[in-house]
Structure 1
Amino acid sequence: MRLHFLLPLLLCAPLALAKAPDAAQLKDIISRIDQQRQPAGGVELQVSLSTLQDGREVEQDAYAITSDGGGNALLAMQNRDKRGQKILSTKQGIWMYFPKTRRPLRLTAVQQLQGNASVGDVLRTRWSEEYKLAADAPQLAQVEGRNCWRVTLEAAQEEATYRKIELYLSESQFAPVKADMYTFGGKLMKSAWYGESANLGAFRLIRSTRIISALDAKNGKETLYVVKAAKNIQVERDAFSLHALEVGQ
């Protein structure tokens, strides 16, 4: 067959689609993303949450987060007017401590920390533990002109922050691009947009995350979460106990 007969056939042939990651690959990908949000082992993160209006910062809070990378995390507020306030997150629950109070207050993961960021967005970052992969296979989708795989995560625990997360991964690198979070009532609550991972000390972390409430999607308001510093530390198991929180240690 001559070449000029082949060309129309080649032009009409469908383009090969990228191969979707299978379930085993997705589990590894989600675990890797967990490590880029809050690494395993004893670690201390210096982070900030800023509320932006039309790109202009109107509020910022600083926090120190101590984590064992296994589901226990302690957040200490650094702003002068909030210094001494702490939030403890364990598999048994979440509590907030205020100086000069007798007992910590019980919180839920969905309660607001600052702006559009909830307590769970910052302290409950183990997607591989709190969620399971939905039965639906990943689907190709467009996110602001980028080809992504849409993966559905469903709550595997009653304490999970959200009922469902629609996670968008870059087509080739499987890096997180966007996540849509849904309430247990099935409504879209917020979306998170993830920056690229970068080296920070001994870690490779997602340095910045933009969080936009479904109600604020059109009014120019968003919350920016930034990891500013990270270091390995030795953590005592008692540091994540309710008793330690009650006595303000």
Structure 2
Amino acid sequence: MRQENELIRLDNVKVTYPAGTEALKDINLSVQKGEFMFVVGSSGSGKSTFIKTLLGEVKAASGRLLVAKHDLGRMKRRELPYYRRTLGVVFQEFRLLDDRNVYENVALAQRVIGVSSDKVRRNVMQMLEMVGLDERKRAYPKELSGGEQQRVAIARAMVNRPSILLADEPTGNLDPKNSWEIMNLLEEMNQLGTTVIVVTHNNEIVDKLKKRVVTLNKGEIINDEVQGGYIQ
């Protein structure tokens, strides 16, 4: 693919934790605009570190990391919050605010970047309709099922129309039915042009969807397939 379509690039990226453990070893990877990619591997393979590195939560010891033209190695600490607002992020634990209803949880992502009230209302309702929760906008997280909470989290992650959506074990706390509903939603977001990267240990989903699969083992990429499957 042409380099102009490249959205994420890692060149010889190495991450070392204070105890000396190499969490990522000389990672070379290119992700294009509009890709849907799974990152898989056993516990301790480096999956979580990979996501944290893209978020700027962990800094590479060496190598170069470019995300949407941002050079994370040269980024100042004060710039990180603004950079992270350009990404959509979904976690296993949902991370919703219990004292805010569905609408407010999603709207907050718009308000922190200064979107006008009229646009907030329009954008939030559009996203809630997309995830099928527009009629539950006044409900609070404790009144929702796990699947519904994750749909709110996806709406919150996508309301600012990020070019990249990072999902760290998005189905980890869900039953099979809700897991597939969440994956279908992520596919919809991808079809709208968002680049989606999903870290998961759900081999059934990975094998069935036939997306690009990057497999990590002890901090190294051991396999990278365009229409791959889960490698045990």
**TM-score between both structures, scaled by the size of structure 2:** 0.30
Max radius of gyration: which structure?
A: 1
**TM-score between both structures, scaled by the size of structure 1:** 0.29
Structure having greater relative contact order (Cα 8 Å, sep ≥ 6): 2
| Structure with greater strand percent | 1
